[in-house]
Structure 1
Amino acid sequence: MDIFGDLRRMNKRQLYYQVLNFAMIVSSALMIWKGLIVITGSESPIVVVLSGSMEPAFHRGDLLFLTNFQEDPIRAGEIVVFKVEGRDIPIVHRVLKIHEKENGNIKFLTKGDNNEVDDRGLYKEGQNWLEKKDVVGRARGFLPYVGMVTIIMNDYPKFKYALLAVMGAYVLLKRES
């Protein structure tokens, strides 16, 4: 299982082939992700629910599929994913109230289904309403609990490294047989 020994035994053509294969896999994944961004209109077309604030609609670990078409109006009752200034992680909550101005600007208030109060405490200081620019996307579908792998890897980094080690060992053993 000496990776560097395997690399030294490869001729240049084999090494280039392996590097190109890896680069093609990475670039294909990036192209698929960018394609999803264009198709859905969302900067993050797939997100994982990280808390239980939306239960029973969504549970921790559910994988959400988002769209964010600007021409679609935001409606009360719709589930949106939004970013708040000063927070890195987007929040998944339901639109509680809409405040529409005469000039067409829309502001709205959100709340988690499982929370007692609205989200004004989560917004940046002095902000009472969200605007369309804060929305990352709107939930259009989900796969239950598929995102638990992401949560486990973030909560337990040793698990992530163990999983990578097992996958690496599998690839090496597969190649030798």
Structure 2
Amino acid sequence: MLTAFSGAKLRQTLVEGLNFCLVLTTAFMFWKGLSVAANSHSPIVVVLSGSMEPAFQRGDILFLWNRAPRVKVGDVVVYEVRGREIPIVHRIVRNHVSAQKQLLLTKGDNNAMDDVELYAYRQFYLNRDKEVIGAVKGYIPWVGYVTIMLSDHPWMKYLMLLGIGFTAMT
């Protein structure tokens, strides 16, 4: 009888492990599908600073779309600068369009000056095709604050993992 109990326990543990793997792979497939649909390697971002207040607050989750061939003045875009890991969310204030490319100048709504100081060395405009991840098409306020808290306080990651582990064991 003891061996039957341990076999049932092992089976239950394996089922829980497979369910966990199913959740992870489903989330990964959802992310990749959303990336393909939005034509962006990062279709969802979290606002990390107050530079776009009052339009977006710190902790808002933004949904990006990168299928439009051009963006216009007034659109809010997310871009990456060479040499920096964190994407920046700012509004387009100037637009230069030619047959080959679109050059953009951006500025945070809550900033006094444009973003030229944030761009790479000797760069005065963003290339739409190379540096822009996508234009903001929607947002959910405050939900991304969990991500900010986990980044600002690393001990919270371990506390969360401990809670997940404890819940999985019961």
Q: Distance in 2 between matches of 1:66 and 1:94?
A: 14
Query: Helix, strand or coil for the counterpart of 2:136?
Result: strand
Could you tell me which amino acid in structure 1 is paired with residue 73 of structure 2?
A
TM-score normalised to structure 2 length: 0.89
Could you tell me which amino acid in structure 1 is paired with residue 115 of structure 2?
D
1:116 aligns with 2:112: yes
Give CA deviations for 1:98-120 in whole Å, capped at 9, x if unaligned: 0123x342101000000011000
Pairs within 5 Å for 1:6-155: 10-11=9-10, 13-71=11-69, 73-101=70-98, 103-132=99-128, 133-155=130-152
Q: Distance in 1 between matches of 2:7 and 2:112?
A: 61
Shift of 1:164: 2.0
User: What is the percentage of aligned positions where both structures have the same residue?
Assistant: 47
C-alpha RMSD over aligned residues:
1.8
Q: Distance in 2 between matches of 1:24 and 1:142?
A: 28
Give structure 2 stretches of 5+ with no counterpart: 1-5
Could you tell me which amino acid in structure 2 is paired with residue 86 of structure 1?
G
Shift of 1:16: 3.3
Identify if the C-alpha distance between structure 1 residues 157 and 8 changes in structure 2 by more than 3 Å, giving closer, same or farther: farther
Give structure 1 stretches of 5+ with no counterpart: 1-6
Could you tell me which amino acid in structure 2 is paired with residue 39 of structure 1?
A
Identify if the C-alpha distance between structure 1 residues 8 and 168 changes in structure 2 by more than 3 Å, giving closer, same or farther: farther
Q: Distance in 1 between matches of 2:165 and 2:8?
A: 18
TM-score normalised to structure 1 length: 0.86
Q: Distance in 2 between matches of 1:150 and 1:97?
A: 32
Query: Helix, strand or coil for the counterpart of 1:24?
Result: helix
State which drifts further: 38-47 or 122-131.
Answer: 38-47
Could you tell me which amino acid in structure 2 is paired with residue 22 of structure 1?
F
1:157 aligns with 2:154: yes
Structure 1 stretches of at least 4 aligned residues deviating more than 3 Å after TM superposition? 7-10, 13-16
Shift of 1:163: 2.1
Could you tell me which amino acid in structure 2 is paired with residue 56 of structure 1?
P
Q: Distance in 1 between matches of 2:52 and 2:23?
A: 35
> How many residue pairs align between the two structures?
164
Query: Helix, strand or coil for the counterpart of 1:10?
Result: helix
